[in-house]
Homo-oligomer: A and B are copies of this chain.
Amino acid sequence: MYMKPLYADIIAVGSELLLGGRVDSNSVFVSNLLAECGIAVRKKISVGDHRADIQEALRASLKRADVIVLTGGLGSTLDDCTREAVAETFRRPLIRRKQAYENLQERFRRFGRAVTPLLAKQALIPSGARMLANPVGTASGFLMREGQSVIVVLPGVPREAKVMMASQVQPALRKIFKSTRRYWFHAFNTFGLPETDVQKQLDLILMDYANTQFGLLASPRGVKVTVSCWVVGDSQSSVKKKEQSPFFPEWNHLIKQVRDCLGPWLFSEGERTMEEIVGELLRGHSWTIALAESCTGGLIAHRLTDVPGSSLYLDRGVVSYSNQSKRECVGIPAPLLRRYGAVSSHVAEAMAKGIRRRSRVDLGVGVTGIAGPGGGTVKKPVGLVYGAIDGPRGTQCRRWQFWGDRTEIKLKTSQAVLDLIRRYANEAAV
């Protein structure tokens, strides 16, 4: 049993990662899945499809890393050379593995294609390595031990690497290292949070927890607050998922303290999006909804319909970009538009009420603003937005002033309006 900290390096292979706009995003889930096995990533490296560069990176990592995960370069083009580079480094011949070759034949048969010699490369595994079957693609991976290190080689296609990592690599690493270290992590998603005030309160809470860290990641969707720490249990069995609590009894208390501190700004925890939360609340109330969007241009409807089953509550959306369409689709009277202008609380409210009445839904939502870069004035600058909601608990309207480019203002507005719906639905539950 390893009680000492375990470290991993991740080597992503592919010339497109160096020049061409692609970044190694596989390492995000690889890091997380390694952490679940008690292994911390110390270094991530991206190199091109060149044997010498792969080998240099591999040799450098061998000096310190307990685990080295290589992704990419296992395909069948002439560029792909990761399996050759690894085999050469350890002077092991590449051998065609029957199971890998049959998988390859089976996959190509479906497309009515034969396995050419170049394609057959994907079934080669270094002698003595354990094959990692690819259930969703053509290139097999492999896992091998070299001295104190474990080397894992996976395809670069995210979907393939992910499933192989979870179903084969994680169990193998747990068996090899029997680590009792675990990475504890919890994410709180907030919107509209006054960042500096909250940081002070969080720092106070954290003073009681050694080795525990807070993180604040800001984006147009809000501020993600994370709490994380590495903890060591005294036996392998005590770190199992279901037995986490006795293993670190203060954890649940810490989570609760942070939750209370974030209060109404907290909209979800973990990976759950605002649109999922809103969808769940609407289903909970059996409420239907209709949207009248102007400056967001359909983004709110798009986000709500990204959630499977959203047809249960979303009746319709109207993108009333022209003033004429505001009159025709939502019934905004021309005098109101003339008097207050399209970007005003009066028009936002009228949009919410209009779309609610016309579609006979429970909630009507209206949003109007100036996404820019043009169209702003001194009185109504770019980023000024009004959002309104009309429903069984009456009408609510809010005004925001956002900063950023057009895309950011649209995204921030959509998040703010969804948050308005969330708070409205939560109030109604009281």
Residues of A bordering B, CB below 8 Å: 16-25, 27-28, 31-32, 35, 40-48, 53, 57, 60, 183, 185, 215, 217, 226, 228, 290-291, 293, 296-302, 304-306, 308-311, 314-322, 324-325, 328-329, 358-359, 371-374, 406-407, 410
Which chain B residue lies CB-closest to A300?
B298
Q: Is the CB of A23 within 8 A of B20?
A: no
A410: chain B residues within 8 A (beta carbon): 302, 305-306
Which chain B residue lies CB-closest to A301?
B298
Number of this chain's copies in the assembly equals 2
A47 and B57 contact, Cβ closer than 8 Å, known pairs A298-B305, A308-B406: no
A297: chain B residues within 8 A (beta carbon): 301-302, 304-306, 310, 314, 317
Q: How far is the CB of A192 from chain B (nearest CB, A)?
A: 19
Q: How far is the CB of A314 from chain B (nearest CB, A)?
A: 5
CA distance A174 to B298 in the complex (A): 45
Q: How far is the CB of A323 from chain B (nearest CB, A)?
A: 10
CA distance A317 to B325 in the complex (A): 9
A18: chain B residues within 8 A (beta carbon): 31, 40-44
Q: How far is the CB of A385 from chain B (nearest CB, A)?
A: 14
A293: chain B residues within 8 A (beta carbon): 298
A296: chain B residues within 8 A (beta carbon): 302, 305
In the A-B complex, the 7 residue pairs with the smallest Cβ-Cβ separation, listed nearest first, are A297-B305, A298-B301, A298-B298, A317-B319, A316-B325, A44-B46, A298-B302
A322: chain B residues within 8 A (beta carbon): 311, 314-316
Which chain B residue lies CB-closest to A226?
B20
A-B contact pairs, 24 of them (CB 8 A): A16-B215, A18-B44, A19-B228, A20-B215, A21-B28, A23-B24, A23-B25, A23-B28, A24-B44, A42-B47, A42-B48, A43-B57, A44-B46, A45-B46, A290-B325, A296-B302, A297-B306, A297-B310, A306-B406, A308-B372, A315-B325, A317-B319, A318-B329, A319-B319
Q: Is the CB of A308 within 8 A of B31?
A: no
A31: chain B residues within 8 A (beta carbon): 18-19
Q: What would 18 more interface pairs be, CB under 8 Å, given A43-B47, A297-B301, A317-B317?
A: A16-B215, A19-B185, A21-B217, A22-B217, A23-B24, A23-B25, A23-B27, A24-B44, A27-B46, A297-B304, A297-B305, A299-B302, A314-B321, A316-B318, A316-B322, A316-B325, A318-B319, A324-B359
CA distance A301 to B296 in the complex (A): 9
CA distance A317 to B319 in the complex (A): 5
A318 and B317 contact, Cβ closer than 8 Å, known pairs A217-B22, A298-B299: yes
A305: chain B residues within 8 A (beta carbon): 296-298, 319, 321, 371, 410
Q: Is the CB of A17 within 8 A of B35?
A: no
Q: Is the CB of B32 within 8 A of A19?
A: yes
A43: chain B residues within 8 A (beta carbon): 18, 45-47, 53, 57
Which chain B residue lies CB-closest to A23?
B23
A53: chain B residues within 8 A (beta carbon): 42-43
A41: chain B residues within 8 A (beta carbon): 18-19
Which chain B residue lies CB-closest to A295?
B305
Q: Is the CB of A45 within 8 A of B45?
A: yes
Q: Is the CB of A321 within 8 A of B315?
A: yes
A47: chain B residues within 8 A (beta carbon): 42-44
CA distance A384 to B316 in the complex (A): 21
CA distance A373 to B307 in the complex (A): 10
